[in-house]
Amino acid sequence: MTDDTSSLAENALPAGKHDADIDQLFGPGGPLGQVVGGFRPRLAQTEMAKAIAEAIAQQTTLIAEAGTGTGKTFAYLVPALLWGGKVIVSTGTKNLQDQLFSRDIPTVRKALSAPVSIALLKGRANYVCHFHLERTLQNGRMTSREDTGHLREISRFMKTTSSGDKAELSKVPETALIWNLVTSTRDTCLGSECQYYQDCFVMKARKEAQQADIVVVNHHLFFADVALKDTGVAELLPSANTIIFDEAHQLPEVATLFFGDTVSTSHILELCRDVLAEGLSHARDGADWAKVVMPVEKAARDLRLAFPQDVVKLAVNQIAPSSVFFSALETLRQEFDSMIATLEKQAERAETIEQCRVRAIELGMRLDAWNKPESASATAKTNSIKDAVHGDAEGRVLWVEAFSTSLQLHQTPLSIAPIFNKQREGVPRTWIFTSATLAVKNDFQHYASQMGLAGEPAQSWPSPFEYGEQGLLYVPQNLPQPNSPEYTDAVIDAALPVIEAAGGRTFLLCTTIRAVNRAAERLRAEFEERNLPFPLLVQGEAGRTELLDRFRAAGNAVLIGSQSFWEGVDVRGEALSLVIIDKLPFSPPDDPVLAARIEALEKKGMNGFMHHQLPAAIINLKQGAGRLIRDETDRGVLMICDPRLISKGYGKRIWQSLPPFKRTRDLSVATGFWTALPPAT
């Protein structure tokens, strides 16, 4: 590893001079072909690598869409490892992050004989914390026998692990509750005061990332750092020469999440529990701790009860000024101040009480930032709220979301473009944004405007797959409108003969959890009645990885899922031969952020539907459709049930953005697809 992380960048070749090297590296008999099993030169991959090498040489930005099967990972890794200097690669998922670190980058490094070091950096919740593990082992606050067994496994794991990364311990599920007790958060980390600071896995991972040439992170970590400065990425950015976002289509949503802020009544109740526990442990005589926290807990619960409905999403200007919500919020703030006052007096008694005080002050500030309307008069309050919703000085949308037992107060930026542009200012460096789905019919305008990349170069490389031969797009006839109460049942009626003809081997992708549940209920009954031998796998009945493993193993299963199965899922071969999409994936109309964004666009004279909702739905649909054909030998039917694909004027723009499958509305053509196929070679 080089001592100077920028020395590789200084050796970058002049613009255009790297083409011959790329041709040789990706060509027949090149180093990639010698190391990578089954490697075949692909023109699109080679051309994409040249464009990325050029962007690195010029220290510019590139938006790069590469169709499924192009091999975009190698197309960006080869120039990045050779000429990228200090490189940060950010992925959409932890799975891809692990794959890049464990498999893809070492493979390319070996093929190129590139002397670069690699580091993996995850959020602190992924690393076991020595302090919290010891505390949990001593306190033994286990809620189940399962937790006790998991804790024993984690304790054994700590004796052998060099990374502390919980992904290495497959015996304990990632979703196990025990992880919350043996990992730290930003609020509960003792930092340099901790007795285990020298051995801390989080600090060790950050140090390795500082020293490495290539650092692999994920989008959540990247933006959490920009927002919270708590993941180690902020320390990496100044020295980074090249930043590559893979699965870049996810960035607008992830960035919106992190540049916004959410305060939940659950956060407040959790803090109250910790205040009570730490107060009784370390300052029992300092206060009547039950009386300190009870008014805050009651105020938090009363705030939730301001909305009688189970689930609700409302922009602040949709809440009546006379609503009990505003008085409940004020009461919560007052009671919270009283609790902070007690914590101020007792903080010096123990480090953990001081931690509770810091957390309480931060939560209080976030409540204040959200609770912007301060005037007592209803009119002034309403006007102030309207300003906040339709783009206040900082362009934020204030809204509330109620669940069955909690209430969340959200601040969401109207646009992430100006915030993200600030991150890109300063030292010249290369920014690469790549994914299979960034454009709408080769038009990148929607994505570029969301990310503040207007005017930056964008290119698209087509998939090498023969979509016209490998797949068929089928849109059934006579389905009701998607808002009809009988719609999901009609989808199942239309899908059954196609599922049967496909021999199972189906993904049914739904736009809502309600549709998933109804579809599962219907298909379970239909399979039983018709004596169809297809295993039925339903999102929520097991984890995503387990469901996919079972799907692949069965070979004739039907899997029903919602958004989490629309992307990042790779099932090759005959096990997946039919993808059914119930509706075009438009965002729900009751989304307060969407409503505010559409209003902002329309104020500029743009059409909210055509310029925002439609392109977003098309990019999402392309992801779902992309599950079907994953390699050169895959064959299958894409069935989109939504009649708007045919009946609406915008339908043509949608299907023209999809892979160029043959198209039919004839059921017999769809069901006959598999019998009409020549044998796979």
**N residues, the chain:** 681
Output 434 or 173, whichever has higher pLDDT.
434
pLDDT band per the 50, 70, 90 thresholds, residue 32 = very high
Q: Does residue 309 contact residue 402 with C-beta atoms inside 8 Å?
A: yes
pLDDT at 189: 84
Q: The sheet that has 396-402: what strands, in order across it?
A: 261-264, 407-413, 396-402, 312-315
Q: What is the pLDDT of residues 59-98, one digit of tens each?
A: 999 999 999 999 999 999 999 999 999 999 999 887 888 8
Tell me how far CA of residue 305 lies from CA of 83, 278, 288, 405, in angstroms: 58, 28, 27, 9
Q: What is the pLDDT of residues 350-390, one digit of tens each?
A: 888 998 999 999 999 989 888 654 333 333 333 333 333 34
pLDDT band per the 50, 70, 90 thresholds, residue 546 = confident
Q: Which CATH number fits domain 7-123+204-257+417-461: 3.40.50.720, 1.10.10.10, 3.40.50.300, 3.90.1300.10?
A: 3.40.50.300
DSSP state of 325: H
**Measured distance between the N- and C-terminal CA atoms of the chain, rounded to whole angstroms:** 45
- Is the pLDDT reported for residue 680 higher than 60? no
Q: Strand 396-402 and strand 312-315: pairing?
A: antiparallel
Give backbone dihedrals phi and psi of 164, rounded to 5 degrees, phi first.
70, 10
- Is the pLDDT reported for residue 207 higher than 70? yes
The Cα–Cα gap between 198 and 62 comes to 40
Residue at 44: amino acid letter = A
Which is the CATH superfamily of the domain at 467-671? P-loop containing nucleotide triphosphate hydrolases (3.40.50.300)
When mean pLDDT is compared over 365-369, 596-600, 663-667, the highest value belongs to 663-667
- CB count within 10 Å of CB 5 equals 20
Q: What is the pLDDT of residues 286-340, one digit of tens each?
A: 999 999 999 999 999 999 999 987 778 899 888 888 889 999 999 999 999 999 9
Q: Strand 471-474 and strand 662-664: pairing?
A: parallel
pLDDT band per the 50, 70, 90 thresholds, residue 555 = very high
H helices of 59-198, in order, are 72-83, 94-99, 105-112, 130-139, 145-157, 179-182
The Cα–Cα gap between 294 and 275 comes to 11
Contacts of 632 (CB under 8 A, 6+ apart): 69, 464, 465, 466
Give backbone dihedrals phi and psi of 392, rounded to 5 degrees, phi first.
-75, -165
- Residue 474 pairs in a beta bridge with 639, 664
pLDDT band per the 50, 70, 90 thresholds, residue 226 = low
Q: At what angle do helices 351-370 and 265-282 cross, to 10 degrees?
A: 160
Pair of tokens at residue 158: 């700590």
pLDDT band per the 50, 70, 90 thresholds, residue 12 = very low
Q: What is the pLDDT of residues 133-157, one digit of tens each?
A: 998 888 766 667 888 889 989 999 9
Which is nearest to 574 in space by CA: 470, 670, 655?
Answer: 470
pLDDT at 170: 82
Q: Determine what percent of the chain falls in helix, strand and coil, rounding each to the nearest 5.
A: 50, 15, 35
- 65 burial class (0-12, 13-18, 19+ CB within 10 angstroms)? buried
pLDDT at 323: 86
Q: What does the mean pLDDT of the chain come to? A: 88
Tell me how far CA of residue 626 lies from CA of 268, 636, 671, in angstroms: 42, 11, 21
Contacts of 526 (CB under 8 A, 6+ apart): 492, 496, 532
Q: Does residue 401 contact residue 259 with C-beta atoms inside 8 Å?
A: no
Q: Does residue 73 contact residue 45 with C-beta atoms inside 8 Å?
A: no
- CB count within 10 Å of CB 675 equals 7
State percent of the chain over pLDDT 70: 91
Which region among 245-259, 295-309, 388-402 has the lowest average model confidence (pLDDT)? 388-402
The Cα–Cα gap between 400 and 282 comes to 36
pLDDT at 220: 87
The Cα–Cα gap between 510 and 488 comes to 9
Output 390 or 587, whichever has higher pLDDT.
587
Q: What is the pLDDT of residues 464-499, one digit of tens each?
A: 999 999 999 999 999 999 999 999 999 999 999 999
- Is the pLDDT reported for residue 173 higher than 70? yes
pLDDT at 124: 87
- Is the pLDDT reported for residue 254 higher than 70? yes
pLDDT at 663: 96
Q: Dihedral through CA 611, CA 615, CA 616, CA 617, nearest 10?
A: 130
Contacts of 376 (CB under 8 A, 6+ apart): none
